[in-house]
Structure 1
């Protein structure tokens, strides 16, 4: 009887010890996630306009916490394709919600042309997409109590074009980005750099490294060493990838870290294929990227 009691106590002690090792916002502490689809961060839009401003909300199930951090996830697709239902976006939104974050996977304005083949169109498309990202941030700050989030702990995150949105939204002013993109008659009200808590850049890039001087927003860059779609280092066009952003952040003393997947290309595929999102091995690398980003954000924002 005594031995049995000791055994039960030992098992309970081990399970409590294991549970205690799971750190909120760093490790998985929630098993289930609640997902609410097709909400709007621009509720005043007409139904036609609203299609580009929808979001899916991921929350830890039965989480009663208030003041939770929010990650706004933005999909890739060259500002022409992709959606908030993309496999990677759903994976990161769910796994970060399991860590205790609230995650909003957003839609945004896509180009009617082909930005992938026209750099001027790419600049313009990014500008309008960034305005959407800033609108989403403003919406969540205004509705922070409704979603039980901390308006001072909003993180911008995205892969490829979504990473470009996160970088350019966080560090550039509307005036700077509009001038670079050749957009005239800029009527956006936000003339100052956006106030966010951090950036997760998954194989995206920024148009001007000097924009990092505007704010000290912590950033984590993750990319494949062989990425030929968004090169980690500057090539011909004025687009600076994760390696360049990392080096500039180091020079400016901005809290930062990076993870390089040696031998891999865009989207952490061995050989990038925009039609095929990648199999289990690619998704495993996405999970590794997510854990690295979670470790950095925990160390930077919560520790």
Structure 2
């Protein structure tokens, strides 16, 4: 049976679709309530600055196990919102399955469209990864077990964070630098070909707005597209996508899966028949979390005997 934390992670994001938008302060209050619930097991360090750009301090919230016997695996969570909305506070509940397993969680905020257009969000998340690795000793992070994940635009940013090499030049503005690279990527219905959404039959306003009026927007779209970085030697990638997703076409997941498989990269595509943009049923979510757990265990990232997601 799923634990209380897992059930919260499954039920609450679905309920959120039925709610009116809430203020940032209300989101923070909700996040603080869950932080209080976890207080016996975790030390919460909110709003740590990892990067400054456009005079904006990009911040992370840290959830650190209180009684870890050694360096802890890290789940680096990147929220969605079409690169134009969302916040780390609003989507905190999505990290609960990893807290249940005793992992450290790094909950990432990045520059949204109204602050800076593409490729700013990609650059920020690469800087967040550099920051995690550079501060591993202070926060007891196990840099050999960093898993990055996110939903929608956050799925896209998780892919770029885990796939883009330093040679791309997209991390040149980071204040601290370490080797890029993660142990695995969990991609919840993320965009894999940004150019496909900028023009043509699949054009989406959120992608057009993120590119803006750049004369070289198609080149920029290519530079920030995960499909541009498929190659041998990438970390294992687990993708979840619904076949009826109206926001990010299911074909994005299929193309990524096929390209990764051809390149010899270990990856799995979990297809949700008739699934929309993340609005999955409780049963579907339980199955997904269980499969993620098995995926991580298969790649040596969790102890098989550890508390499981969805079991």
| Maintained 8 Å contact 1:109/1:132 | yes
Within a 5 Å distance, the mapping from 1:91-240 to structure 2 comes to 91-112=93-114, 124-125=117-118, 127-173=119-165, 176=168, 187-188=172-173, 194-206=180-192, 207=225, 209-213=227-231, 215-233=233-251
- In the alignment, the residues of structure 2 paired with residue 253 and residue 191 of structure 1 have an alpha-carbon distance, to the nearest angstrom, of 29
- In the alignment, the residues of structure 1 paired with residue 40 and residue 256 of structure 2 have an alpha-carbon distance, to the nearest angstrom, of 35
Match of 2:35 in 1: none
Shift of 1:33: 4.4
Shift of 1:242: 1.8
2:87 pairs, out of 72, 83, 87, with 83
- In the alignment, the residues of structure 2 paired with residue 268 and residue 148 of structure 1 have an alpha-carbon distance, to the nearest angstrom, of 35
Q: Alignment RMSD, CA only?
A: 3.2
1:40 match: secondary structure = strand
| Maintained 8 Å contact 2:156/2:226 | no
How many residues are aligned here? 232
Shift of 1:199: 0.6
| Maintained 8 Å contact 2:130/2:178 | no
- In the alignment, the residues of structure 2 paired with residue 265 and residue 195 of structure 1 have an alpha-carbon distance, to the nearest angstrom, of 31
Runs of 5+ in structure 1 lacking a partner?
Answer: 1-29, 114-120, 179-185, 234-240, 270-280
- In the alignment, the residues of structure 2 paired with residue 73 and residue 103 of structure 1 have an alpha-carbon distance, to the nearest angstrom, of 7
- Change over 3 Å in CA distance of 1:94–1:197 after alignment to 2: same
- In the alignment, the residues of structure 2 paired with residue 230 and residue 160 of structure 1 have an alpha-carbon distance, to the nearest angstrom, of 8
Runs of 5+ in structure 2 lacking a partner?
Answer: 1-37, 193-224, 304-311
**TM-score normalised over the length of structure 1:** 0.67
- Change over 3 Å in CA distance of 1:141–1:84 after alignment to 2: same
1:36 pairs, out of 23, 41, 44, with 44
**TM-score normalised over the length of structure 2:** 0.65
Shift of 1:188: 3.7
| Maintained 8 Å contact 1:41/1:136 | no
Shift of 1:191: 11
Is the aligned partner of 1:56 residue 2:42? no
- In the alignment, the residues of structure 1 paired with residue 134 and residue 168 of structure 2 have an alpha-carbon distance, to the nearest angstrom, of 25
Deviations 1:142-181 (A, max 9, x none): 1112221111221111000000001122223466586xxx
Higher relative contact order, structure no. (Cα contacts within 8 Å, ≥ 6 residues apart): 2
1:254 match: secondary structure = coil
